[in-house]
Chains A and B, each alone.
Chain A
Amino acid sequence: MIDPTYALIAIVAMGIVTFGLRALPFVMARWIRSSSRVMELGRFLPSAIMVILLIHSIRDLAERPTGGGYVAEIVCLTLVMLLQWLWRKPLLSIVSGTALYMLWLNLG
């Protein structure tokens, strides 16, 4: 059993830290806006971060004991990206890929 008071203090502490991180660029906005280089970074960063998050989450899934050792992950990922490229229906892409992945792991 997790002690509620302790857990609540931990949750608030983590909340403050996370908020602080997210607020950092806004607090330093005046300094950042004077630098065109940092503003250009703001446009470069989204694509790069998305690719990193994608690879990282696939790696997380594939390398855990219950994971599919990359084969299931890559097949399902290809399905998701193909569906999204062709039909642009996020829900359809996510649900199809996830359903296939769950079937693969639980029945395979």
Chain B
Amino acid sequence: MGYVPLAIVFGFLFVQAGGAWWLALAASLVIYAGASQFAMIPMLAAGMPVASLALAALVINMRHAFYGLSLLENRPRHFLVRWYLVFALTDETYSVITSARPRPTPNAMAALAAINQGWWVIGTLIGAGLGAQVPVSLTGLDFALAALFAILVVEQWRASRTLLPLLVALASYALCTWVLPGHALLAAVCLSVIAGLCWPSIRARLA
């Protein structure tokens, strides 16, 4: 559900930039990754080479390469269901799956991913429809995404109450904003991964 407002903004901006509504739909069906779909709009409008768009997707979505790590323990059995879940592993789907207690069953995870993508597609269509009509102000509607991450942080905290990942994330992001301002998001995720990998050794030494 949290996806709808953001998808509306995407469809709206895409059509306003001169794209056909069905191309916005195709992007939400085939790419299904919020941030890179937004980044794609000005790049398409500027007619940039396909290779730079692919590179942008690689850099922006790099963090998704770590998401599967949390799901390896219980993957859906069926071949198609499993690969659909892999395909649809967005920020939101990953967040909701890992916040849910008790952990959803493999098939429930895939169903959740499909529902999320359904909302994403519906939102895209609504936005594309609006974009083709009158000029309306959607300023601030994309706060919904930040709000979604905020409630997931609250739920993660309720479920685990461990301070360490929180502190690591804050420190990583602060450091990366300072050192690599242009790539703070990816750099902070990488730094947290490194910290998470080192933590067992540090804990063992302290104990």
Contact string, B62-83, partner A, CB cutoff 8 A, digits 1/0? 1111111111110100000011
Q: Flag if B65 contacts A49 (CB, 8 Å).
A: no
Known interface pairs A2-B18, A11-B23. Does A18 touch B152 (Cβ–Cβ under 8 Å)? Answer: no
Tell me the bound Cα distance from A1 to B197 in angstroms. Answer: 47
Q: Flag if A52 contacts B145 (CB, 8 Å).
A: no
Known interface pairs A2-B19, A93-B151. Does A44 touch B196 (Cβ–Cβ under 8 Å)? Answer: yes
Give the interface centre of B141, B150, B168, B189 by most chain A CB atoms within 10 Å: B150
Of A29, A52, A98, which one neighbours B144 at CB under 8 angstroms? A98
Contact string, B147-191, partner A, CB cutoff 8 A, digits 1/0? 111111111111010101110111011000100000011001100
List which A71-100 residues lie within 8 A (CB) of chain B: 73, 76-77, 80-81, 84-85, 90-91, 93-94, 97-98
Q: Does B107 contact A (CB under 8 A)?
A: no
Interface size on B, residues (CB 8 A): 94
Q: Flag if B197 contacts A41 (CB, 8 Å).
A: yes
Question: When A and B form their complex, what is the total count of cross-chain residue pairs whose Cβ atoms lie within 8 Å?
Answer: 263
Known interface pairs A12-B30, A26-B72. Does A48 touch B196 (Cβ–Cβ under 8 Å)? Answer: yes
Tell me the bound Cα distance from A44 to B169 in angstroms. Answer: 11
Contact string, A49-61, partner B, CB cutoff 8 A, digits 1/0? 1111111111101
Smallest CB–CB gap between A64 and chain B, Å? 10
Tell me the bound Cα distance from A12 to B51 in angstroms. Answer: 12
- Chain A contact-residue range equals 35 or more
Tell me the bound Cα distance from A106 to B67 in angstroms. Answer: 36
List which B78-111 residues lie within 8 A (CB) of chain A: 82-83, 86-87, 89, 91, 94-95, 98-99
Q: Flag if A50 contacts B69 (CB, 8 Å).
A: no
Q: Flag if B20 contacts A4 (CB, 8 Å).
A: yes
Chain A residue contacts of B135, Cβ below 8 A: none
Q: Flag if A2 contacts B44 (CB, 8 Å).
A: yes
Q: Flag if B155 contacts A32 (CB, 8 Å).
A: no
A-B contact pairs, 6 of them (CB 8 A): A2-B44, A19-B86, A52-B192, A54-B149, A58-B146, A73-B146
Q: Known pairs A18-B61, A48-B195, A52-B185. 12 more at Cβ < 8 A?
A: A2-B20, A11-B31, A45-B69, A45-B193, A49-B66, A49-B192, A54-B149, A77-B150, A93-B147, A93-B151, A94-B148, A102-B143
Chain A residues in the interface with B (C-beta under 8 A): 1-4, 6-19, 21-26, 29, 32-33, 37-59, 61, 66, 73, 76-77, 80-81, 84-85, 90-91, 93-94, 97-98, 101-102, 104-106
The 4 nearest A-B residue pairs measured at CB: A25-B68, A47-B165, A51-B169, A46-B98
